[in-house]
Amino acid sequence: MARLAVAVVSALAAGMALAAQQPLSRYQSIIDRQMFGAPPPGFDPDKNPNEVAGGKNADKELTKEQEKLQSAIHFSMINITPSGETAVGFTDNSDGKQPVHYYLKVGEKRNGWEVKEADPVRAWMRIAKGDIEVELELGGNSAAKDAKGATTRAAGADENSPRTLPAAASAATPKKNLLGGLRDRRKARLAEEAEREKRAAEERARQEEERAAQEEELLLMKEEIQLQREEREEELRRLEEDRRREEDLRRREEELQRREEAAKAKEVTDESHEA
């Protein structure tokens, strides 16, 4: 019995080894009928299965490098600059103790990072670190669909693993991002207008205060001038009264002197008559 089991296992192993050495073209009739569905993209029946397996392993290694790069990025912002260029904001978390924040325009490079493409409508970017490129959607470090297909996120997978948003969420994200940008710009514009109105109101108030102070100063100056005029007029009245009193006194003295002279002349006349 044991010998039979060993013989069966040996036969199966030999058959599998032989099948591995056979090209896949011998299954062409089955492939043409597509009994198991459409062949995968890039399928070449003339290649040895071992070579195909080797290629898959190489792609898997590249995917691991992409996943490692994706897990280090947090895509947090996409914006259109006043000059019309697209810029993105992201965080490099490869150093867990000290994250580094970047704000780069499309085509701009810094510290080995380069933003290849970015679309604010789709809220999407393609970024490279060295020879490794990944595509990300706004709001996390989750990969978007690449040229070969989409990497779906399994239930319970790590948040840093690649994922593809559902169709509704993918369509809503750019619209939400665009509306959010419009709201932010509107808020900024309203805040700027409110600030301008505030500064204008403060300037008007300052001018009103200065005008009121100038009017008060002018009124005080007028009152001072009026007071000085009244004082001068009062002084002139006193001088006029003094002049009149002096004139009246002078006339009285002259009248008295004439009377005295007349009295003396009369006395002389009377004395001459008596003689």
| Section 37-64 average pLDDT | 57
Quickly state the pLDDT bin for 68 (edges 50, 70, 90).
confident
| Section 224-249 average pLDDT | 91
Quickly state the pLDDT bin for 129 (edges 50, 70, 90).
very high
Residue 213: pLDDT above 70?
yes
Higher pLDDT pick, 16 / 254: 254
Quickly state the pLDDT bin for 165 (edges 50, 70, 90).
very low
pLDDT tens digits for 76-87? 999 998 888 999
Residue 216: pLDDT above 60?
yes
Quickly list DSSP for the chain: -HHHHHHHHHHHHHHHHHHHHS-GGGGHHHHHHTTT-SPPTT--TTS-HHHHHHHHHHHHHHHHHHHHHHHTEEEEEEEE-TTS-EEEEEEE-SSTTS-EEEEEETT-EETTEEEEEEETTTTEEEEEETTEEEEEETTBS-B--BTTB--PPPTT--TTS-----HHHHHHHHHHHHHHHHHHHHHHHHHHHHHHHHHHHHHHHHHHHHHHHHHHHHHHHHHHHHHHHHHHHHHHHHHHHHHHHHHHHHHHHHHHHHHHHHHHHHHHHHHHHH-
What's the pTM value of the predicted model, to 2 decimals?
0.34
| Section 135-143 average pLDDT | 70
Residue 241: pLDDT above 50?
yes
Residue 118: pLDDT above 80?
yes
User: How much is the pLDDT for 183?
Assistant: 81
